Structure formats: C-alpha cells, structure tokens
Amino acid sequence: MNILSKYLVISILILFNTPLVIKSQTILNEDKVYDRNINTVLLYQTGNQLTEPVIELNTSDKLTLEFDDFSDQTYNFRYTIIHCDKDWNTSDLDQIEYLEGFPEGEITKYTFSLNAIPGYIHYQTVFPTSDLKIKYSGNYILKVYVDNDDDENVIITRRFFVVEPKVTIATDIPYYPKNLEYTKHKQQIDLTIVTPDIFNTQADRRIRVFIRQNGRWDNMIKNLAPTTVLSNRLEYNYPEGIVFDGGNQFRYFDMKSYYYQAPNIRQIISNKDGYEVVLHTDYSRAKKEYETYTDIFGMRLVQARNDQQTDIEGEYAWVDFSLKIPKFNNADVYIIGALNDWQLNSNNRMQYDDQYRMYTLSMFLKQGYYNYMYGVVARGETKADVTLIEGDHWETKNRYRVYVYYRNVMPEYDRLVGYYMFNSFSTSR
C-alpha cells in the first residue's frame, strides 16, 4: 500500500461526525480501543510516561490518560472505573463499595492539533480526583465512553492496578535453573514472600501470585500457589521452577524527528498526505550470539522534536516493517510491544509476501521512540513464541512484575497486597 492509499484510509475515517463505534460490540476487560478514530492511548503514573499504571491505595498517587481522536469535532467523553478479580473478570462488588464520590468523571481537557497532517484532537485527564476516589485495592478497568457507558458507546478500556503493600517480595534469577536443559537460555524466577500474620490463615488457598515479563500479557504466569507455608513466609519451589523464555533485547527505531534518518530507519518519505517511515529489513536472530544494548523493555516513548509540543504538534506516520524469513506453516507472525498495547490482533499481524519472501506490515504511529520484537503464534494458540525469530538468551535484560493477590472474606474480593518490579540483570545472580 503506498502512502497515498494509506492516508486515504485515515481521510475516510475522519469524514464521519460521530465516533466509529461498532454496534453490538463486546467490551473486554483488557487494553483495547473500540473506535477506529482513536489512536495513541497512554495510561501511566502522572509525571512519567514510561511507568506502568499502578497507584498505591490511600495516597495522593495519580494516573494520567491521554489519547488522540481523528474525528473532526469534540465529544463529551466520560469515564468510569470497574473493579475486577485477579483474573480480570468483573468482580461482584457494587461501585458504591469500592468508589467514593461520583461513579464517573468527565474528560474536559482537549486541544486541537497544530499543523499536523492528518489533524486530530488530543484529550487528557488525571484521576483519581476529589470527586472520584478508590477505596479498595485490586485490578481495575478504566472505561471511556461517549455520553453513557452502554457497550455501543465505549471507545477505550484500559487496565490499571491499585496496591496496598502488605507483603515483602524477594526474587532471584539463578544461572543454573532446576532443569539444566534451560541453562544459558531460560530465566528461572526464584520467589519468596514474607507475609504478616493476618494473611497466614489459609495462605495456600487465599494467596495467588501472577508474574509478567516486560509488558506482555500473553505469556503471563498465573495463579501460582505457595508450595511451602511457614509461619510468616511463603515459598514457591516448583519442580521445574517458574520459568520464562530469556528471549532477546527489543529491536528499536527512533522517529522523534522526520528531519533525519536515525539508526534502523532506511527512508523517510514526506508529501502533502503526510509521512511514511521505511525501516531497514529485519532478519532472524535465532542462531546468533547474544548482543547486549539498552532498550526500554518493549515500551514506547511518544515524543516529538524539542521544538515541538508532542501532544498537539506530534505527527503520525505509516511505519513499514519487513522481516526477511521463510514462511511459517500453520502459524502467524506478530509485532510485539507497547506500540500495539501488547495485543496479538489484526493490527500487528504480518502478511507474507511470496514474491520477496518476507513478512510485511505497516502501522500508523505517532512521533516517538519505539521498541518491538517478532513473535510466532501457532494457529489456535494465544501465546507468542519469540525465540523462533529473536533467539533465547539467559543474559537478556527483561523487566518482571510480580503481583500478589489475597482473597478477602468480607467483602469477598481479590486484594492486591503486593507489587514488585525488578530487572533481570539487577538480581543477585
């Protein structure tokens, strides 16, 4: 698809005066956009775009939501907050139990873009507020909608966490895992949790641990129960260990400016319809030696040049990816990273070009610095295997997050009583 055809798609979308919400859509408790006019949704700890949306209960912590709307008029966007259990199912709690104040808020801050092609409207809000406070810890969904929260009006859902730190979490990644076949490749997480007396009763039944690698959801290790319960200590000594693929450092490209070609960018095309950024062709790293360099753990930093105001002057470009590799049978190749909200869907599923024998994909992205890697998903599966293209190295600098949930009795819900983030290279190996 050439740049004119790509921007024709966007132009068609912004001709509509109402958000293009699909009727009878299914609203999911995950990071998802339901309106084709909405792009670059960010949810982070206020003040630092590169943070996970986690706040501590009963503190002044805030989260910031930002997004761009390619509609040609403003809308009365509102939001509400939904409490979920540890598995991201909507909990049985009523909003009046976990929220104090009003059950919804308004997004009143918006600005029209300046000199951007195509144009957009940038929205932003910060919460919790004095009129909408959160009373319980746990998993939450932020739901953004037009006028009311009927399913057909929802445009965005985003996950976030509220933690009440009650436990101490200790981790390590040993060089020699329990299964020696994993040596030099996999990363085994050794885990110990110190709990106060209040959580000792039925700890083996009420406490569950989830572990995420970088920002991924597809390979999360879920519902870990302790193997040993001591007086105030929980141990997790599984026969094979708690194991993740080591993988490799994320690939990257820097398009904060369209004035020059940064590393990994082959060409920048500009005309009256906008920009196209052509990346250098990627190749498999599966059989190559590990090569260390610094990445941002698969995240994205939406940022324009220093002389631009990113929110309203940041411009979009079609970014062309290509991966020169033989075609996989009965499997699809996806681009993985925050650039697609860590989703595995049609927006980041690559197509195979038989003529050039490569996978290709174009993504519509705002100026910034991006990490990504390639994953293979077998037909019928939901988990991506990055090792087939990226390699598998114990030395890889991965970022892990540990979530500890406690099943409360009265009222019955999953409390998030522990949250711990650590980098694999900073553990006492």
> What was the pLDDT predicted at 25?
87
- Other Cβ atoms less than 10 A from the Cβ of 67: the count is 25
pLDDT in tens, 153-188: 999 999 999 999 999 999 999 999 999 999 999 999
> What was the pLDDT predicted at 20?
47
Residue range 191-213: mean pLDDT, rounded: 87
Q: Give the separation between CA 429 and CA 427, rounded to whole angstroms.
A: 6
Q: 160 and 55 in contact (C-beta within 8 Å)?
A: yes
Q: Give the separation between CA 25 and CA 13, rounded to whole angstroms.
A: 18
Q: Give the separation between CA 90 and CA 109, rounded to whole angstroms.
A: 29
Any domain includes 230 = yes
Q: Nearest to residue 88, comparing CAs of 351, 361, 414, 349?
A: 414
Q: Report residue 315 CA to chain centroid gap.
A: 22
Any domain includes 214 = yes
Does the pLDDT of residue 133 top 80, yes or no? yes
The pLDDT > 90 percentage for the chain reads 88
> Lowest-pLDDT range, 199-203, 212-216, 298-302?
199-203
Residue range 139-164: mean pLDDT, rounded: 96
Expressed as residue numbers, the domain containing 378 is 251-390
Residue range 196-213: mean pLDDT, rounded: 85
> What was the pLDDT predicted at 351?
98
Q: Which residues, 6+ apart, have CB-to-CB distance to 142 below 8 Å? A: 43, 63, 65, 79, 80, 81, 127, 156, 157, 158, 159, 160
Indicate whether 273 and 209 sit together in one domain: no
Q: 64 and 122 in contact (C-beta within 8 Å)?
A: no
Residue range 204-208: mean pLDDT, rounded: 91
3-state helix, strand, coil in the chain (%, to 5): 10, 45, 45
- 103: DSSP letter: S
Does the pLDDT of residue 5 top 80, yes or no? no
Indicate whether 158 and 23 sit together in one domain: yes
Q: Token pair for residue 321? A: 């990816």
Average pLDDT, the chain: 93
Q: Token pair for residue 159? A: 């996950």
Indicate whether 65 and 185 sit together in one domain: no
pLDDT band (50, 70, 90) for residue 16: very low
- 49: DSSP letter: T
Any domain includes 411 = yes
Any domain includes 2 = no
Indicate whether 68 and 143 sit together in one domain: yes
Q: Which residues, 6+ apart, have CB-to-CB distance to 20 below 8 Å? A: 13, 35, 36, 37
In single-letter form, the type of residue at position 252 comes to: Y
Question: What is the β-pairing status of strands 138-146 and 154-163?
Answer: antiparallel
Indicate whether 18 and 158 sit together in one domain: yes
Any domain includes 126 = yes
Of 106, 136, 163, which residue sits at a domain end?
Answer: 163
pLDDT band (50, 70, 90) for residue 278: very high
> What was the pLDDT predicted at 231?
82
Q: Give the separation between CA 13 and CA 16, rounded to whole angstroms.
A: 6
Of 129, 163, 197, which residue sits at a domain end?
Answer: 163
Indicate whether 150 and 179 sit together in one domain: no
Going from the C-alpha of 206 to that of each of 160, 167, 366, the distances in angstroms are 22, 14, 43
Does the pLDDT of residue 1 top 70, yes or no? no
Q: Token pair for residue 320? A: 């062309």
HEC profile of 193-224: EECCHHHCCCHHHHEEEEEEECCCCCCCEEEE
Q: Which residues, 6+ apart, have CB-to-CB distance to 171 below 8 Å? A: 189, 190, 191, 192, 400, 402, 420, 422, 427
Does the pLDDT of residue 15 top 50, yes or no? no
Q: What is the CATH number for 229?
A: 2.60.40.10
Domain count, the chain: 3
pLDDT in tens, 76-120: 999 999 999 999 999 999 999 999 999 999 999 999 999 999 999
Indicate whether 174 and 158 sit together in one domain: no
Residue range 421-425: mean pLDDT, rounded: 92
Q: 66 and 42 in contact (C-beta within 8 Å)?
A: yes
Any domain includes 5 = no
Indicate whether 280 and 302 sit together in one domain: yes
In single-letter form, the type of residue at position 63 comes to: L
Q: Nearest to residue 122, comparing CAs of 66, 57, 203?
A: 66
Indicate whether 242 and 338 sit together in one domain: no
Indicate whether 236 and 267 sit together in one domain: no
Whether cis (ω within 30° of 0) applies to the bond prior to 177 is no
pLDDT band (50, 70, 90) for residue 2: low
Q: Give the separation between CA 14 and CA 48, rounded to whole angstroms.
A: 31
pLDDT band (50, 70, 90) for residue 198: low
Does the pLDDT of residue 341 top 60, yes or no? yes
Residue range 275-302: mean pLDDT, rounded: 96
Indicate whether 144 and 205 sit together in one domain: no
Q: Token pair for residue 354? A: 């038989």
Half-sphere exposure of 195 (CA within 13 A, CB side): 27
Residue range 23-28: mean pLDDT, rounded: 82
Of 109, 128, 163, which residue sits at a domain end?
Answer: 163
Start-to-end Cα distance in the chain: 48
Q: 124 and 65 in contact (C-beta within 8 Å)?
A: yes
**Cα torsion angle, 414, 416, 418, 424, sign:** positive
Phi, psi of 17 (to 5 degrees): -95, -5
> What was the pLDDT predicted at 22?
46
Residue range 236-257: mean pLDDT, rounded: 97
> What was the pLDDT predicted at 201?
72
Q: 423 and 399 in contact (C-beta within 8 Å)?
A: yes
Any domain includes 107 = yes
